[in-house]
Amino acid sequence: MNIALEVSASKANVAQYHSLLTKEWTKRTLGEVLLLLWAEIGESGRIEGLPFGYVLKPETGKAIRRELNQYVVNFVRSFRSFFEYRTIPQMPSPEAMSEVRTSRLVAQAETTWTYLILHILVSLRGETGFFLDTQSLLFLTSVHFLLPALKQNGQEAAHDCLVNALYMHTITAWAEQPEHFFYLQGALMDYLGNEKETEESLRRSLELTPLEDDSYLTKVQDYSYALLDADKTEEAWSFLLSVYRKAPQSYLEEVEEMMTQVRRRLPTDSLQEMRSTVHQ
């Protein structure tokens, strides 16, 4: 598609992004991220010419009852046909997607999966890096809040379509930044319950992230939690101990808090031995 959309990084948009990035996320945060994405491209002037343009403006009230936009759904389905990956569910059939009844939740899911692959559907110009960063917020809040809500409400077809769009996003948006590619894949694998791939993806992301990077401690925490979820408590302790020994002074308080959480789950017979290693 030859239509290009201009991305705006106005002061208001940037301020809203940083507010969303740093505040505690709730189920309302995803809607706020969608509104920010709309603010970034909503004045491009050519959205009306897109076959899915009406999907991009988030529904702020009761959703209009309409059919799902098959242009975007078929695009995700076409991408899915190129790989076989057992962890990622198959795309629902065209018949299953046509039977999906729209609601506010489903409309939000449709807007979400459209934004996640928008950089493939159209050309983006201007502050594209800022747009990608906002897409990452959308990715993570979708995994935390939207996927569980779709599953709880019995919207399996919409759920599986969104999972595929999330996976598509990691490959198409972040292949050239593997530290972020692996981090997002780790978040998705964690939701899907694949402990082995979660642990592997988060480990790779951390290994590729410089010690001084702002996201380093977040990735340390996520990887240690992945080890705990896999019942690898002693390995989590050893990992945090290695981080503690090389971390700058400014990191130590947060690392110690993580170690305290792990220590509570250590077997009694090994606790004393491991506790003493902190001071060695």
Q: What is the pLDDT of residues 100-133, one digit of tens each?
A: 877 899 999 999 999 999 999 999 999 999 999 9
pLDDT above 90: residue 259: yes
Its pTM stands at 0.90
Do both 208 and 123 map to the same domain? no
Q: Provide the domain limits for residue 50.
A: 4-174
Tell which of 174, 207, 224 closes a domain: 174
Burial class (CB in 10 A: 0-12, 13-18, 19+), 179: middle
Place 71 in a pLDDT band, splitting at 50, 70 and 90: very high
**Residue 6: DSSP 8-state:** E
Do both 149 and 249 map to the same domain? no
Do both 239 and 145 map to the same domain? no
Do both 11 and 130 map to the same domain? yes
**Nearest 10 degrees: CA dihedral of 81, 131, 53, 23?**
100
Do both 163 and 203 map to the same domain? no
pLDDT above 90: residue 48: no
**Nearest 10 degrees: CA dihedral of 92, 94, 98, 102?**
40
What is the count of structural domains for the chain? 2
Specify whether the CB–CB gap between 40 and 130 falls below 8 A: yes
More confident residue, 91 or 65: 91
How much is the pLDDT for 43? 83
Do both 134 and 249 map to the same domain? no
Specify whether the CB–CB gap between 206 and 220 falls below 8 A: yes
